[in-house]
Chain A
Amino acid sequence: MANRRIVLCAGTGCVSSGSLEVRDALVRELTKRNIADQFEVVTSGCHGFCEQGPLVIVHPEDILYCRVQAGDIPELVEEYLIGGRIVERLLYRDPVTGKSVSDHMKIGFYAKQMRNVLRNCGVIDPENIQEYVARQGYAGLRKGLAMDRMAVIDEVKRSGLRGRGGAGFPTGLKWEFTFKAKGDKKYIVCNADEGDPGAFMDRSVLEGDPHAVVEGMLVAGYAIGADEGYVYVRAEYPLAIKRLRVAIDQAVQYGYLGRNILGSGFSFTLKIKEGAGAFVCGEETALLASIMGERGMPRPRPPFPANAGLWGKPTCLNNVETFANIPLIMRQGGDEYAKIGTPRSKGTKVFALTGKINNTGLAEVPMGITMREIIFDIGGGIKDGKAFKAVQIGGPSGGCIPESLLDTPVDYDSLIKAGAMMGSGGLVVLDENTCMVDLARFFMDFVQSESCGKCPPCRVGTKLMLETLERICAGEGTLGDIDWLVELGTKVKAFSLCGLGQTAPNPVLTAIRYFREEYEAHVRDKTCPAGACTALVDFVVVPEKCKGCTRCIKVCPVSAITGKVKEVHHIDPAVCIRCGACLETCRFDAIIRGKAAKVGEVAS
């Protein structure tokens, strides 16, 4: 009988870092030493700590080993599993103190989290329904089925749960509308079209705990009186689709899905629809059009999907994370759930932490925590000791939050006040080397190409905004351009048909609100303070660092670099095409982005 359990993370991040090879090597090594029966080797869904993958956790002592490669396995088995001596070099090292940490709940990244929705992620084998059931899985459904439909809806209303997809509409209210809507047939739809660049929490929940989403949808189906559901999931998430498919098959096998579920008389079927690559399909009416086989274009509301959704029938549409909260609410009750959070934002929120931050990954925190705690305590601060500049929240629909607002509590309403929005929960941390104009241009480029083209304010407005931003990045902007962007952005927000256009100007507007001087530097001084806009920077040689090795001279495609062996080289800004090949190839960090005239003043 196995008395120790070894969990290997097999989320997308860890798999691409080689966790499956690590598992194979581990099983081989244990078999070779004839001790395979003492260990249970399990692959789990995403732990959230993707930066440090592949992750290996050994229970019951709960030791976390990071960035484990197949080659490390013999040592890990010999030293730790058999010898009981901790393999120091594979432990997590705190980026601030430099100390190694073995107990994974003591690592800053995990210590400040409140893992309710993610409680199974990285703990259970997501392809084994028994492990889900063993941790109170489907207990919420069982409880719900014994209740009156309206009582279930009341429970959700009392919990204060608001939609985790971005807008934050009260979930219980949405259920009530759909419940009360007249119709012989109703649908439940799960929005798993996580399209915000920089967000991956829905992917991780589907990969790590797919049954929680299935259970949430079942409760919703029972409450509103639907017998059919769809999960609309991005085709870019093949592993999530696979795990969800396995979960649905197993749920059918165990009688949680299908006819007369748990003897209650309630029947429900669940289908997966793969998205075909259109960001606008995250918008509910566009998503429904896509399920029906049409171009994914939004339509004006009302009628809302609660009254006329899929094939004209009442349809309740919620996001992955919203559904994943439901089993918890059913198990502990709405009042208990509502104890966490702020007065108007209850429960926890999962954020995807990325960008220039030490601990990239997935973090679940109680509503009301400050952004500073998320970035510095959980995220471990800024990479390479650089200075924090801003955090972009909510992707292309959200906005940036500067240093001065880091202590505002994170909830739906405070973020709107700051000009940003919760969005789906992507947090991209920016440092001194990120240019706010360039980032706004990047988001505008994205939404402009994803605009479906149905309404002119979005179709034409985003194009005009993009062109203006491109001009500014190229050093051809004027001071009037900044006010023009504000005016245009305000109108695009006011007049666009759907959420895509209504939120598209947010990154630009917040960047101008908090970093206007950076815009002015681009148009007035023709410089990019962050050194990111290539048209506005020169590549320059730092004389003290240049060893005169001629490597850069050899790679320069336009012969802009001159100099002799062992003498300081020089880049001619008039010839240079700013391709960056020299910077890439220099072994001494002797080439930096700066202004040719001011060599030495610019920090590398």
Chain B
Amino acid sequence: MSEERSFERTALDEILSHYEGQPGALIPVLQQAQDAYGYLPRPVIAAIAERLRLPAARIYGVATFYAQFHLKPRGRHIVRVCLGTACHVRGGERIAEQLAESLGVAVGGTTEDRLFTLEKVACLGACGLAPAMVVDGTTYGRLTPKAALNVIERYRREPAEVATQGGQAQDIGPSSQRGRSA
């Protein structure tokens, strides 16, 4: 990940060349810039403002309006705990609390070693698997606080390997028993 002062411009230039002149380009540009840099550092926003001929204030206005954009660096793994209705009534808050405690960060925070960022999300649409969470795009469902911690531990130990595996929460926690309908 680039440091603020010496960010690598090639990626941004490519994105900007693709969108320059298109109406309504700001949000896709911010989305792709964030994909490239992990977050939206100040110089990136300044460069976008210049190229799209928009006041930086307007870009900050948009970037701070949407939950998706981040102005601060984030962790290597993004842990998003679902707190939608179904997850709420099935104990999602306890999962979030347990993870916050064990990672030592508040929801929305990043661990000091920048390995994990813990976030909450209003609904993943995976209500059938409630309570659920997503780590780097992989959904883990039917969680218990302990099963959630086990998932985190796997990412801590072997980040590269886990990333390529499927999201089977069943085989790593107490929820592992084949819970055929009672």
Query: CB within 8 Å of B: which residues of A?
Result: 12-13, 15-18, 20-21, 50-53, 66-67, 69, 89, 92-95, 194-200, 203, 234-238, 273-274, 276-279, 290-297, 311, 352, 354-356, 358, 360-361, 380, 383-384, 392, 395, 426, 428, 430, 434, 439, 442-443, 446, 450, 452, 580, 584
- A residues within 8 A CB of B21? none
A443 to B61, CA, bound (A): 26
A236 touches B121 (CB 8 A): yes
- A residues within 8 A CB of B141? 13, 16-17
- B residues within 8 A CB of A89? 180
Given A15-B139, A236-B125, CB of A293 within 8 Å of CB of B89: no
A428 to B126, CA, bound (A): 13
- Nearest neighbor of B29 in chain A, beta-carbon distance: A293
B129 touches A16 (CB 8 A): yes
Stretch of B3-11, B71-79, B162-170 at the chain-chain interface: B162-170
A575 to B85, CA, bound (A): 31
B166 touches A195 (CB 8 A): no
A293 touches B62 (CB 8 A): yes
User: With an 8 A cutoff between CB atoms, is B41 at the interface?
Assistant: no
B182 touches A395 (CB 8 A): no
| Contact among B30, B124, B178 with A236 in the assembled complex (CB-CB below 8 Å) | B124
- A residues within 8 A CB of B129? 13, 16-17, 50
A28 vs chain B, min Cβ distance (A): 15
User: With an 8 A cutoff between CB atoms, is B38 at the interface?
Assistant: no
B15 vs chain A, min Cβ distance (A): 14
A50 to B68, CA, bound (A): 27
| Contact among A12, A274, A446, A450 with B126 in the assembled complex (CB-CB below 8 Å) | A12
- Nearest neighbor of A438 in chain B, beta-carbon distance: B88
B182 touches A51 (CB 8 A): no
User: With an 8 A cutoff between CB atoms, is B69 at the interface?
Assistant: yes
Given A196-B123, A198-B123, A354-B127, CB of A16 within 8 Å of CB of B140: yes
B128 touches A430 (CB 8 A): no
A455 vs chain B, min Cβ distance (A): 16
B138 touches A16 (CB 8 A): yes
A157 to B86, CA, bound (A): 36
A360 touches B127 (CB 8 A): yes
A426 to B169, CA, bound (A): 25
Interface residues of B in 139-155 (CB under 8 A from A): 139-141, 145-146
- A residues within 8 A CB of B30? 276
A235 touches B122 (CB 8 A): no
B68 touches A277 (CB 8 A): yes
Most B CB within 10 A of own CB, among A238, A273, A380, A428: A428
List 9 A–B pairs whose Cβ atoms lie within 8 Å, in order of A's numbering: A21-B168, A50-B127, A93-B180, A195-B123, A200-B123, A278-B65, A292-B23, A352-B127, A439-B88
A200 to B31, CA, bound (A): 23
A355 touches B128 (CB 8 A): no
B78 vs chain A, min Cβ distance (A): 12
A64 to B170, CA, bound (A): 21
B36 vs chain A, min Cβ distance (A): 15
B89 touches A277 (CB 8 A): no
A13 to B82, CA, bound (A): 14
- A residues within 8 A CB of B94? 580, 584
User: With an 8 A cutoff between CB atoms, is B33 at the interface?
Assistant: no
A270 to B55, CA, bound (A): 30
User: With an 8 A cutoff between CB atoms, is B181 at the interface?
Assistant: yes
User: With an 8 A cutoff between CB atoms, is B137 at the interface?
Assistant: yes
A296 to B137, CA, bound (A): 25
A491 vs chain B, min Cβ distance (A): 25
B31 touches A274 (CB 8 A): yes
